[in-house]
Amino acid sequence: MTATFLRKLSSILILLWVAFGLVACGGFMPKSNDNRHNQPLSSVTQAGLRNMGSSPGEAMVIRIFKQEETLEVWKRTSAGQFRLFKTYEICAYSGDLGPKIKEGDRQSPEGFYTITPGLMNPRSSYYLAFNTGFPNKFDRAHGRTGSDLMVHGDCSSRGCYAMTDQGIAEIYALARETFKGGNPSFQLQIFPFRMTAANLAKQASSQHLAFWKDIKEGHDLFELTKAPPAWDVCERQYIFNASSGGALNPMGPCPAVVQIAGLAEKQQADEMAFASAVESEAQKAARLAAEAEREAAAVAAAKERGEAINGAVSGLFGGLGSMFGGKDDDVVPVMSGKPAPKPLPRLERP
């Protein structure tokens, strides 16, 4: 091989590596005898499910809270409601609070997604993974782009949610057993933070506030009913528990929704708390600004007093110098360059 050919080959490999980095967290390991995707659930995990009245094959829901860096697995119990089974720490996620907008922005997605067996990746180059399903119906309605947005292991993220290998191994096994139990999918809910009025108030100036309030309704429904809400998209926004059957036109008008007891009251209370929290945040900001202004004024006043004192001291010592022979700059030494005269002899006294 010539040196020129090797340089060209190196350039191509570098470009491929960069391109791979920009398409989030895709990639597959070469086929091997690795059986990590079939690791059985530990006896401790199975006992935990039994103790809460659930089983590996029961339905599940995953919730992600980006700011808190937590992933929750909820399992349906024999009573029919979902209960929190376990919380996992997220090693890393990419970008800031807010949804993913376009390919290469390195943002981790937010919203509601449906995970099917086809989105599971048993041969991920990031240990194990499942695809979030981004872009979903809502994302496409807004022209958002991106691919290979995963929840995976390896503690490294390029627009994904990265877990420890141990964590993703258990989450993957829980999902696998859910599918084996006859469930065709499970719901993935991704939020920027815990959807409280106080947290929303802290982000009141965000361009994403309307979007966050939109997905908060799905969050509140799950909190109230302990069951994943049915979601769809109309008028380019999420709709939960629509009364009409069949898929909706994401650009079309929204139908009525099934009224859930307690939702309207919760939303009203949350709006009042949000308004109060926004006012409190504004008052806090005004107080901090006033304190900063007072501190700056105090520093300026101290500097002015220091300059005044220095001026007074300089004037005092200058006056004393005048009293004792004038100023230093009035004393002019005489240097003639001539030899000094010889001293006269000492006078003799009788």
- Residues tagged active-site: 152, 160
Question: Which residues, at least 6 apart from 23, have a Cβ–Cβ distance to it below 8 Å?
Answer: 103, 104, 147, 148
138 CB neighbour count, 10 Å cutoff: 24
Q: What's the number of CA atoms in the CB half-sphere (13 Å) around residue 185?
A: 14
255 CB neighbour count, 10 Å cutoff: 13
Cα gap 228→241, rounded to integer Å: 10
Q: What angle do CA 341, 345, 348 make, to 5 degrees?
A: 160
Cα gap 202→274, rounded to integer Å: 9
41 CB neighbour count, 10 Å cutoff: 17
Tokens of residue 36, six digits: 């990590």
- Residue located via tokens 């009251």: 265
Question: Which residues, at least 6 apart from 241, have a Cβ–Cβ distance to it below 8 Å?
Answer: 221, 229, 230, 257, 258, 260
Note the residue count of the chain.
Answer: 350
Whole-angstrom CA distances from 210 to 6, 98, 215, 251 are 53, 11, 9, 17
Q: Can you point out the beta strands (E) in the chain?
A: 60-65, 70-76, 82-89, 92-93, 111-115, 120-121, 129-131, 150-152, 161-162, 186-191, 231-234, 237-240
Distance of CA 123 to the CA centre of its chain: 28
CB 135 within 8 A of CB 121: no
Whole-angstrom CA distances from 76 to 41, 52, 54, 179, 326 are 17, 9, 6, 13, 98
